[in-house]
A and B are shown apart, each in its own frame.
Chain A
């Protein structure tokens, strides 16, 4: 493939590509997302390929291995187009039947969704309860894309945002559009991405960097990996557009080292983008130069913190720096560096191609667009969910999630992993919104939503989360290193029934000091889950003290 020299060449290439594709030709998409992979979807994909080869179906049928479809609970997932027919829990032995039915334009009834209560079947994706309440702007393309093939991304309109930005907009206009869209950072803070971009853009240094934070260390958050593994070009396109707006010459993708498929797909995406002239010098004849490098975290949670991450890219230990040094101005090698999370970058192409007005029509008053949520814990339908901001948690938990497993009742909803918070079941009508959820004490964080059922011991949950953070602290700040250790000891004592009078007051003190005196968010927010539990579940904590005092304090 020769380099695409201009926007016109790209569009011509896309038109030729689409002309060669017959939308009526059946395609069987086998999910190879992390969960399906764990249920051996590779064997299912291999069985499809083998069967197609045996029956010599080359021209009649396409088999595609894709990234995460979303409905992880029911993997391995298979989606057949046209019609988006969803098959769940597919085994290699089901393959000949699916192929035979697909060729005849029929459906394998026994593999489609059945409502556990009513037994009603749902064949098409738009009818399956897990999918039908979602707005899948970001992850919806995953079943259509083989992440190893840039052509598949072009076929769904990929790089149209970049074309528009480079050929019809100035960097200032791109920046203005993102600001107007009020795109807020999806990594946890909810900080307006446009303002952050502007700070880096206006920083005096000429050399500037842009970074994709794909570290995703938050426990029970797995959507960034699904995006980066399943549709790497979408994030790359967002990054290139951002670099153009900011005036950065180089980008870094920072992600996990422990996902071989993710690494393979991102490397391939970078190589293909370079081959097609979407990375490198004079991109699409615009005069804009940009390159991108892949970096790995090597297994510690704190390296997801922005300043720590930048230290890691430099080749140093990931110790966070004080926040008064702003990475937007003094980041990697002290150059202005703009960092956004995977999902934030993934939103950029559609904002540019469809406009800020369209984007702001989705979502709540202050939180625009959709949000990816990793739904897990004691939920019936675990998986990756995408809904407009402002969607009530009830929709997420019951309509999409199918409620609590094993017929139990919901006790709490936990957001944001080890630095998040838990709210009780009666707050289930709260809308999914950055500010609203923060006020309730359960900030969305990156978007890991956990259901906890009636049997959950909240003190044990707090102990578990603290234990996680103690192991992940980099140890630079004493309050974080020692304060969390003390909190862990008290919590452990409580879970073992050895709670003493004054323990809860001591915990409150420790939360405050650790929160005030630590440098980065890890220490600062380490007490947040506890704070939310003191707010909503205090009697449960108090009861531990009473009962462990041998009953003498019983009122």
Chain B
């Protein structure tokens, strides 16, 4: 991620306070987290108080205020996945990565999060790594999937 890209996003929305969420979403997608100095830049450019930027950034779950790992691991905890055994899948992922919901490991390899519902209920329980969906996941198969991500 280059600083240029972030600046480009911010420039696009300069002077448009109503576009705060758009700007933050794009930066989050690009950079995977929102550094404080970037949020200051957003506040200045879009002419919104920094406190409001923080309010939005800390309120919505899609925004991260800390750096994320190289790979984002999600376990769906939606209702169907839950009925079909997501809890066992969660325990296995937590055991393998040593992470709890929302944490990133010291090597920045994985960020682990749970969330509902990702809409692929028919193939639950589901593991999603960097946006790639792994359907009908079992605790036995998790290790092989995670191994592919260094």
Q: Which residues of A contact B (CB under 8 A)?
A: 34-35, 37-39, 72-73, 75, 216-222, 225, 257-260, 295-296, 298-300, 312, 314-318, 374, 376-378, 382-383, 414, 417-418, 448, 450, 452, 456, 464-465, 468, 474
Contacts and interface: CB of A to CB of B under 8 A. Distances in A.
Interface stretch (B4-12, B92-100, B112-120): B112-120
15 contacts: A34-B133, A35-B121, A35-B122, A220-B80, A220-B117, A225-B119, A258-B118, A298-B62, A314-B18, A317-B55, A317-B56, A376-B121, A382-B80, A450-B79, A468-B79
Given A296-B25, A312-B21, A378-B83, A219 B78 contact: yes
Contact of A35 (B79, B82, B83, B135): B135
Interface in B19-39: 19-22, 24-25
Nearest to A256: B119
Nearest to A223: B119
Contacts of A73: 122
Nearest to A420: B79
Given A38-B134, A314-B18, A317-B56, A383 B122 contact: yes
Contacts of B77: 468
B123 interface: yes
A450 B25 CA distance: 32
A377 B122 contact: no
Given A38-B134, A298-B63, A376-B80, A315 B21 contact: yes
Given A299-B60, A376-B124, A468-B79, 5 more contacts: A38-B123, A219-B79, A258-B118, A298-B24, A317-B59
Given A219-B117, A464-B79, A39 B18 contact: no
A299 B62 CA distance: 5
A382 B84 CA distance: 12
A317 B58 CA distance: 10
Contacts of A417: 79
A465 B123 CA distance: 20
B121 A220 contact: yes
Given A35-B135, A220-B80, A299 B61 contact: yes
Contacts of B63: 298
A456 B83 contact: yes
Given A38-B134, A258-B62, A300-B61, A377 B25 contact: no
Contact of A38 (B55, B84, B126): B126
Given A38-B134, A377-B79, A75 B60 contact: no
B15 interface: no
